[in-house]
Structure 1
Amino acid sequence: MYCIVDIETTGNGIKGNKITEISIFKHDGHEIVDEYTSLVNPECEIPYFITRLTGIDGDMVRDAPTIAQIADDILAFTSDTIFVAHSVNFDYNIIKNELRALGREFSRKKLCTVRLSRKLLPGYHSYSLGKLCSALNLPLKDRHRARGDAHATTLLFEKLLHREGAEKVFKTFLNARSQEATLPAALPIESFEKLPAKPGVYYFKDGKGEILYVGKAINIKKRVLGHFYDKATKEVHLCRETAEIDFELSGSELLALLMESAAIKQHYPPFNRAQKKNIVPYAIFSYEDRKGILHLGFNKAKIAPKPLLIFYSPTDCRLFLEEVCQTYELCPKYCHLQEAVDQCSHFRLQSCKGICREKEETVDYNERVRKAITFILQKPKDLIIKEKGRKYGEDAFILIRDGNYSGYGFVEGDTPICYLEDIEPYLTPQKNTLECQRIVQSYLHKAGNELITIKLEQSALLS
């Protein structure tokens, strides 16, 4: 027994979305045997754009039952049936969330008429309910009302039931181990199955091949699956528009981060937000106070006098300064790691020799500050960062020249690399964006001594 369902709601997401109308047609596999349709009072305002789309406004639902009042009816009517809908995950999860909020559990096997149609009715340009009904000459009345859409979905479902090979396809889709019900309605399962469980970047694309979202992952397949299970409104919208997923292997997380950043800057996908914000650079600087004591401090680069070193995260900047303070036995107060204190009392940094308590000569303290400044200014400018390749026997590298990110490349592990010129044929040049600088710099601070320094004339061996 099947229940073909359609709902109208207060919005397009999952969380916080409220049902305004529900219609269910019970079908025995041959014909409609029962129907349940009702307006629902969402107990909240219905947005104007929803009213324009559905025609349902506050006046229509004011005297309608709430979801709490019809919960028993929905549970009883759909009991021991298979839940069917066009883009089933949307309708199913809305109903499940509404009932869960009432302390009621809702669990049914699911079938999606979009995915069934793609399998049993291949070759159509669009699998939206309206376009399919038009192409198949199925009547669709009262579009964007629950009963009209549910009835049209029922007619489509009947057509699918009688297609050649339908029984096998239905059984496959109902298999508990099948991922068909989890995937976005417009995404062919083949597109998901080709994804590797390896590091890299992935691209969500729409039906026209336009990139909707770029992401990075250590395990591409696992991360992509996480998008499908995420019920945040943004993720629901993304999955509903996704018709294809592509990927590129990176071999490592660092390279995946850099490749992701470059792809976002190139394609500017509508569902990427994080790297569209302006990055605020921070700088470490030095100055001498009226007592002749040398200070180290950090602030936004645009207001920092004569920056010694630029960072692209205040956290990275502070952590680096803490490391310098500890290494050169400096005072947290005079490194601006403690503000508005007479004497330092840092919970982690215990290296101060007493300059803040007048127990150390200024000349001795300043000498260590100058050594710290020399260290900061003499950070290596030319680097090759060696990373794991995309496959066995391959190495990846990231090239830093004159302190700037220049690009990345892949070489076979036995390739002789003796000079900088040996690397260039394998190099994929990249723009040195602020985001890339932040990624590389963060890695350098965490990597410690596991870096390979090069000179312009001659390169250290990668192996």
Structure 2
Amino acid sequence: MMYTVIDIETTGQGNKITEIAIFKFDGEKVIDEFTSLVNPETYIPEYITALTGIDNSMVAEAPTFREIASSILEITKDCVFVAHNVNFDYNIIRNEFKAIGLEFTRKKLCTIRLSRKLIPGHRSYSLGKLCAALNIPIEGRHRARGDAQATVTLFQRIIDTDNSEKVFAEFLRRTSKEATLPPHLPSDIFNGIPNAPGVYYFKNKKGKIIYIGKAKDLKKRVLGHFYDKTDKELNLCRETADIDYELSGSELIALLMEDAGIKQHYPEYNVASKRNPRAYGIFTYQDRMGINHLAYNILKNAPSPFITFFNITDCRTYLEKICVQFELCPKYCHLQEGVQQCSHYKIHTCRGVCINKESVKNYNLRVEQAISFTSEISSNKIIKKPGRHPDEEGFVLVKNGIYLGFGFVENTEQIINTEDLEHFLIRQKDNVDIQRILKRQLITS
């Protein structure tokens, strides 16, 4: 089998290549080499120059990636792509090819993951620290050729270990996820994640939570992070060394758990909104004919709203829902504007108040019923959801319009009233994001 051991240096932000080194290796010796500075056609930040020594003047006359693309394709043809943290180098190179309209696909091996499997017991598997522990010299650290040359020596050590042939075959299987998993994440951690609803916590090597997410299928969603090739996801995966999870039984409770976790831990890869979401309110008013209207507007322009939402779509969807449920008129619910009589494309339950077929008194009575119904379900609500296993049930509790938290109850428990439920309640804090989640539940239930 033939390998190409590769290392690149980049601009950091934007990840444009500034230097590349490729050693063609037959498992015993290097048989070819390609090394070049690369003009990234963008500015190299000072902190990158401080790390690598590569500055803008050094690459000014260097070839662009387009100019060396054919050389890279030729030397890597029919070879396994090998690198320390292979997904980082591979995806950046593949993106460079994509930018010039070319495909780049190679089998991959990661020397971090191989080292963890075949040379276990080291405190750190970063290239510098692992090479120091194994007495592998690095001439020119943080330069592509020096790091690639050290990786060749490390790769040779890996090949020479017992059982390497079997491990290589396992890692190179098409169905293997070894080349996809983050370099510092043990495969047994990922394999232990279930296909069930819940929240997951990405942790770095120090055990600090760096990202929290929720999912209907934990394993599938976590794997999705590893296939995502955006800069943010590549950086997240590069730092991930452990993953914890909690089962929720349902997507709704997972959403609530995720919000609580983010507000408790403030993970660096969870991007918090820099502004509060715009709120919309549904309110009522009476026109000159005495007909009670239901209308909506941004919250500051909605007089005495009886329910609020945090996006316009949810607001209109809920208005459509109660319009149908209480046989109200789309015209007087402001789902149609500038019409003499209603002719909504999907709501056909109006009893004719807009064409004088129904009395205003009867119509207004149903409007009042709709308002009372909304106020009641918004103020006190027990939302029942599946539990984390077949013998329990999940629930969310809202009392006097305030979210109190969620909980889980074994099916053998006798629950007669809300007070009984509160013994199983995991209390949480209410906030605007929680209200947005619960309002969306309101319109879909």
What is the root-mean-square deviation in Å for CA atoms of aligned residues?
2.7
How far 1:315 moved relative to its partner? 1.9
- Structure 2 match to 1:166: 164
Distance in 2 between residues matched to 1:380 and 1:34, nearest whole Å: 71
Give the residue type in structure 1 aligned to 2:294: L
How far 1:334 moved relative to its partner? 3.8
Distance in 1 between residues matched to 2:189 and 2:220, nearest whole Å: 14
How far 1:384 moved relative to its partner? 2.6
CA separation of 1:363 and 1:93: change in aligned 2, threshold 3 A: same
Counterpart check, 1:77 vs 2:81: no
Distance in 2 between residues matched to 1:390 and 1:378, nearest whole Å: 29
The question of whether the paired residues in 1 share the 8 Å contact of 2:66 and 2:100 is answered with yes
Give the residue type in structure 2 aligned to 1:241: E
Greater shift, 183-192 or 429-438, is seen at: 429-438
Give the residue type in structure 2 aligned to 1:434: V
- Structure 2 match to 1:407: 405
- Structure 2 match to 1:29: 27
Greater shift, 310-319 or 340-349, is seen at: 340-349
Distance in 1 between residues matched to 2:162 and 2:418, nearest whole Å: 63
The question of whether the paired residues in 1 share the 8 Å contact of 2:184 and 2:239 is answered with yes
- Structure 2 match to 1:301: 299
Distance in 2 between residues matched to 1:301 and 1:241, nearest whole Å: 42
- Structure 2 match to 1:97: 95
How far 1:283 moved relative to its partner? 1.6
- Structure 2 match to 1:226: 224
CA separation of 1:433 and 1:244: change in aligned 2, threshold 3 A: same
Counterpart check, 1:137 vs 2:135: yes
The question of whether the paired residues in 1 share the 8 Å contact of 2:87 and 2:179 is answered with yes
Greater shift, 246-255 or 386-395, is seen at: 386-395
- Structure 1 match to 2:282: 284
Counterpart check, 1:4 vs 2:5: yes
The question of whether the paired residues in 1 share the 8 Å contact of 2:321 and 2:443 is answered with no
Aligned match for 1:199, one of 180, 197, 200: 197
- Structure 1 match to 2:106: 108
The question of whether the paired residues in 2 share the 8 Å contact of 1:198 and 1:251 is answered with yes
TM-score by length of 1: 0.86
The question of whether the paired residues in 2 share the 8 Å contact of 1:12 and 1:237 is answered with no
CA separation of 1:214 and 1:208: change in aligned 2, threshold 3 A: same
- Structure 2 match to 1:394: 392
Greater shift, 334-343 or 297-306, is seen at: 334-343
How far 1:359 moved relative to its partner? 8.2
How far 1:353 moved relative to its partner? 6.4
Give the residue type in structure 1 aligned to 2:309: F
Aligned residue pairs, count: 444
- Structure 2 match to 1:457: none
The question of whether the paired residues in 2 share the 8 Å contact of 1:215 and 1:260 is answered with yes
CA separation of 1:368 and 1:110: change in aligned 2, threshold 3 A: closer
Distance in 2 between residues matched to 1:366 and 1:422, nearest whole Å: 38
- Structure 2 match to 1:54: 52
- After the TM superposition, which residues 247-326 of structure 1 pair with which residues of structure 2 at under 5 Å, given as runs? 247-273=245-271, 278-289=276-287, 292-326=290-324
Summarize deviations over 1:205-250 as a string: whole Å, max 9, x none: 1111111111111111111111100111111111111000111111
In structure 2, the gaps of 5 or more residues are: none
Distance in 2 between residues matched to 1:177 and 1:231, nearest whole Å: 19
Distance in 1 between residues matched to 2:260 and 2:11, nearest whole Å: 37
How far 1:356 moved relative to its partner? 6.2
- After the TM superposition, which residues 15-26 of structure 1 pair with which residues of structure 2 at under 5 Å, given as runs? 17-26=15-24
- Structure 2 match to 1:156: 154
Distance in 1 between residues matched to 2:376 and 2:92, nearest whole Å: 58
How far 1:129 moved relative to its partner? 1.6
The question of whether the paired residues in 1 share the 8 Å contact of 2:196 and 2:218 is answered with yes
Distance in 2 between residues matched to 1:179 and 1:90, nearest whole Å: 16
How far 1:294 moved relative to its partner? 3.4
TM-score by length of 2: 0.89
Greater shift, 294-303 or 333-342, is seen at: 333-342
Distance in 1 between residues matched to 2:316 and 2:142, nearest whole Å: 55
Greater shift, 178-187 or 26-35, is seen at: 26-35
The question of whether the paired residues in 1 share the 8 Å contact of 2:307 and 2:378 is answered with no
CA separation of 1:421 and 1:306: change in aligned 2, threshold 3 A: closer
Summarize deviations over 1:238-280 as a string: whole Å, max 9, x none: 1111000111111111221111121112112111126675243
The question of whether the paired residues in 2 share the 8 Å contact of 1:206 and 1:241 is answered with yes
- Structure 2 match to 1:43: 41
CA separation of 1:247 and 1:300: change in aligned 2, threshold 3 A: same
Paired residue secondary structure (2:260): helix
How far 1:292 moved relative to its partner? 4.8
- After the TM superposition, which residues 112-123 of structure 1 pair with which residues of structure 2 at under 5 Å, given as runs? 112-123=110-121
Paired residue secondary structure (2:377): coil
Greater shift, 87-96 or 301-310, is seen at: 301-310
Paired residue secondary structure (1:37): strand
The question of whether the paired residues in 2 share the 8 Å contact of 1:86 and 1:153 is answered with yes
CA separation of 1:12 and 1:188: change in aligned 2, threshold 3 A: farther
Identity value in percent:
58
Give the residue type in structure 2 aligned to 1:124: H
- Structure 1 match to 2:188: 190
Distance in 2 between residues matched to 1:44 and 1:103, nearest whole Å: 19
In structure 1, the gaps of 5 or more residues are: 448-463
Paired residue secondary structure (2:61): coil
Distance in 2 between residues matched to 1:134 and 1:167, nearest whole Å: 25
